[in-house]
């Protein structure tokens, strides 16, 4: 990135030299003499500066090998390390515009312009991700959780500094050059706290800062400090972060508040409002408070750091923290600020009980109810609607917690804004969940979503300008952003209905998951599959391409469902059909997939719609209704 800006640096040197020359000449009563002397001084300074700039450019070329680079480790073989170089495009810190060209004008206050309207949650990471500015997986910004929902994209995304420009043209690029370098006895290793450590930090999927010498040997290796992730956060759709700055402040940063309640009390029919930057309209800090019929409005104010808003509740309309016990009934809560989450429960032992209330948010990274840091939210009969990207209605991020929702309507209209983005343990019962421009449900990492008698509808309208990314109604993945622990994800649905208006029904990538289905009414989009378990191209940081497949365990009990199941060569599926289940579809009809083990218990049926290829079969083969097609088990026809 720096080499692309050499001309800018050269012009800056010339300008500084000229100013110094003008200062040296000073003012004169003789205009002619002053002009002559100044012109001469400027010309001489410019010539000398041009020469200096050329020399510096040459030095930069010769010493480039010694500059630090950020990489993601893809493999380690003894002392030989292969890694993918990570570059930061326009829009990341450094003042570059969205295309890496002329920097945009700086707004008053010195902050970079806000990201584009389409920045998904966690993702992104959504980091950024977290809900990644573009269309989903959340973040992401996080791209990034944010990222993350990335960004809320993937998206959320590891970032630092203030953002500018549109995310698809900038941010973090994982699809950089692949490099190989050698570790030596002289290599110095530093952990994320700045302490000297050993070579154990050089491991697959780790993000590191590496300084190399001319022989491609590592002089130093240090842990890259990059909070937030690609994803995550409303990723895939992606909840990726997408505000004015990423990477978090490095510490818990809640911002300020107009009103802070620290004493136990009951309040009725009061109004709280905020228009300030990084400011809550109402904060409950460690107190037991009952709020009845209150109005809370966050009608303005910028967020200085998206991840501080996604993780810690900065700029939310209402924030509960430090073990607060808050009961809210009959409230009207609204937000039109970036990072303006409606009701935010942060931290262990913090509990928010909210019922019969209306929540509306307009801007990106502004979920309806948000839970992080081990907090708890219990919601009943809420009416939530969000409009912005990366703005899940039921939203969680780093540190997770527990969320229980009963009844109500939860609608999102932004990209990268699932109805539910999960980095926690979430149970939703008897609720209507609608995502009009995103997938409906996202489960990231070692977390769980349980749906009981819910009505779910999802219409994911696109991805982050990445045509290779999947379209789906339900996504189960690991963003590697740090927003969710690595481990088994759980998706459980009983009763109710799930409708995919675009793309596949369920998509699993870069994680292990257990899917349990019982009596759900599924409606698939045209030309889609029911379950896709696949790797991804790792361009978003979701593992390493070639080894980031999914591992799914699917149990269907008393379930009627249809649609093909695709499991690629780096993924696995264990499918069990029990009770009165009837599955109509084909498994890996192209015969080019990974390991698929199928168990059919008495009373369950599999009706083939095409030749199918699996690795093992357990049960009575008569439970497979071929319809003129053939089931191949480990390469041999068995029906």
- Three-state helix/strand/coil letters over 511-563: CEEEEEEECCEEECCCCCCCEEECCCCCCCCCCCCCCCCCEEEEEEECCEEEC
Residue 45 in any domain: the answer is yes
- pLDDT exceeds cutoff 70 at 512: yes
Average pLDDT over residues 547-570: 97
Residue 19 in any domain: the answer is yes
- Say what the pLDDT of residue 249 is: 56
- Say what the pLDDT of residue 224 is: 58
Residue 12 in any domain: the answer is yes
Residue 32 in any domain: the answer is yes
Place of tokens 């300074």: 45
Question: Mind giving me the DSSP string for 249-302?
Answer: -SS----EEEEEE-S-EEEES-EEEE-STTEEEEEEES-EEEEES-EEEE----
Segment 532-547, tens digit of pLDDT: 999 998 888 899 999 9
Residue 23 in any domain: the answer is yes
- Say what the pLDDT of residue 248 is: 53
Of 125-139, 177-191, 436-450, 499-513, minimum mean pLDDT range: 125-139
Residue 43 in any domain: the answer is yes
Residue 264 in any domain: the answer is no
- pLDDT exceeds cutoff 60 at 112: no
- Say what the pLDDT of residue 522 is: 98
Average pLDDT over residues 272-298: 98
- pLDDT exceeds cutoff 50 at 27: no
- Say what the pLDDT of residue 313 is: 97
- pLDDT exceeds cutoff 50 at 107: no
Instruction: Provide the 10 A C-beta neighbour count for residue 486.
Output: 15
Instruction: Provide the 10 A C-beta neighbour count for residue 272.
Output: 22
Of 27-31, 78-82, 541-545, minimum mean pLDDT range: 27-31
- Say what the pLDDT of residue 176 is: 55
For residues 564 and 484, which has the higher predicted lDDT (pLDDT)?
Answer: 564
Q: Using 50, 70 and 90 to split pLDDT, how confident is the model at 629?
A: very high
Cα 321 → chain centroid: 24
- Which whole-number Å values give the CA distances from 556 to 218, 583, 599, 633, in the listed order? 51, 9, 11, 21
Specify the number of domains making up the chain. Answer: 1
* Domain that residue 34 falls in: 3-64
Residue 54 in any domain: the answer is yes
Q: What is the pTM of this model?
A: 0.66
Place of tokens 């379930």: 559
Mean pLDDT of the chain: 78
CA 542/CA 230 separation, integer angstroms = 7
């Amino acid at each position: 990135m720096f080499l692309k800006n050499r001309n800018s640096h050269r012009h800056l040197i010339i300008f500084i030299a000229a100013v110094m020359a003008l200062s040296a000449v000073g003012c004169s009563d003789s205009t002619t003499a002053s002009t002559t002397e100044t012109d001469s001084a400027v010309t001489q300074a410019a010539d000398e500066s041009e020469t200096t700039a050329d020399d510096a450019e040459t030095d930069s070329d010769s010493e480039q090998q010694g500059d630090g680079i950020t990489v993601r480790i893809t493999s380690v073989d003894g002392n030989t390390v292969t890694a993918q170089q990570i570059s930061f495009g326009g829009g990341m810190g450094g003042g570059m515009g969205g295309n890496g060209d002329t920097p945009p004008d700086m707004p008053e206050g010195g902050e970079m312009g806000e990201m584009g309207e389409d920045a998904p949650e966690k993702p992104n990471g959504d980091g950024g991700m977290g809900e990644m500015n573009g269309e989903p997986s959340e973040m992401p910004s996080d791209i990034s959780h944010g990222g993350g929902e990335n960004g809320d994209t993937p998206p959320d995304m590891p970032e630092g500094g203030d953002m500018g420009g549109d995310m698809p043209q900038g941010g973090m690029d994982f699809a950089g050059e692949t490099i190989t370098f050698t570790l030596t006895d002289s290599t110095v290793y530093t952990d994320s706290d700045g302490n000297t450590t050993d070579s154990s930090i050089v491991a697959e999927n780790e993000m590191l800062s590496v300084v190399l010498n001319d022989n491609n040997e590592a002089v130093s290796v240090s842990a890259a400090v990059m909070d937030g992730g690609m994803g995550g956060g409303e990723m895939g759709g992606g909840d990726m972060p997408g505000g004015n700055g990423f990477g978090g402040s490095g510490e818990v940063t809640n911002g300020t508040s107009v009103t802070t309640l620290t004493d136990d009390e009951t309040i009725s029919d009061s109004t709280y409002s905020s228009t300030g930057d990084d400011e809550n309209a109402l904060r409950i800090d460690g107190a037991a408070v009952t709020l009845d019929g209150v109005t809370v409005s966050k009608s303005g104010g910028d967020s200085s750091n998206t991840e501080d808003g996604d993780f810690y509740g900065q700029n939310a309309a209402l924030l509960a923290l430090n073990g607060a016990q808050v009961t809210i009934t009959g409230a009207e809560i609204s937000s039109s600020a970036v990072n303006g989450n409606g009701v935010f429960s942060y931290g262990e032992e913090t509990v928010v009980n909210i019922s019969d209330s209306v929540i509306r948010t307009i801007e990106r990274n502004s979920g309806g109810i948000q839970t992080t840091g081990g907090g708890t939210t219990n919601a009943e009969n809420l009416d939530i609607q969000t409009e912005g990207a990366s703005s899940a209605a039921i939203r969680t991020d780093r540190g997770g917690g527990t969320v229980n929702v009963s009844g109500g309507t939860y609608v999102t209209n932004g990209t990268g804004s699932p109805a539910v983005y999960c980095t926690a343990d979430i149970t939703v019962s008897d609720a209507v969940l609608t995502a009009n421009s995103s997938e409906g449900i996202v489960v990231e990492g070692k977390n769980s979503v349980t749906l009981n008698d819910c009505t779910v509808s999802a219409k994911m309208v696109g991805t982050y300008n990445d045509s290779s990314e999947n379209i789906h109604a339900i996504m189960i993945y690991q963003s590697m952003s740090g927003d969710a622990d690595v481990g088994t994800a759980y998706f459980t649905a009983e009763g109710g209905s799930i409708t995919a208006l675009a793309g596949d029904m369920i998509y699993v990538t870069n994680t292990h998951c257990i899917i349990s289905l019982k009596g759900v009414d599924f409606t698939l989009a045209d030309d889609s599959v029911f379950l896709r378990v696949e790797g991804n191209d790792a361009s978003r940081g979701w593992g390493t391409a070639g080894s980031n497949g999914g591992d799914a365990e699917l149990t269907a009990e008393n379930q009627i469902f249809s649609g093909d199941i695709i499991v690629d060569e780096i993924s696995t599926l264990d499918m069990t059909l029990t009770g009165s289940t009837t599955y109509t579809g084909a498994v890996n009809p192209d015969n080019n997939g990974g390991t698929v083990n199928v168990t059919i218990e008495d009373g369950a049926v599999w009706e083939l719609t095409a030749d199918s290829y699996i690795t093992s079969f357990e049960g009575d083969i008569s439970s497979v209704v071929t319809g003129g097609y053939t089931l191949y088990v480990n390469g041999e026809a068995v029906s």
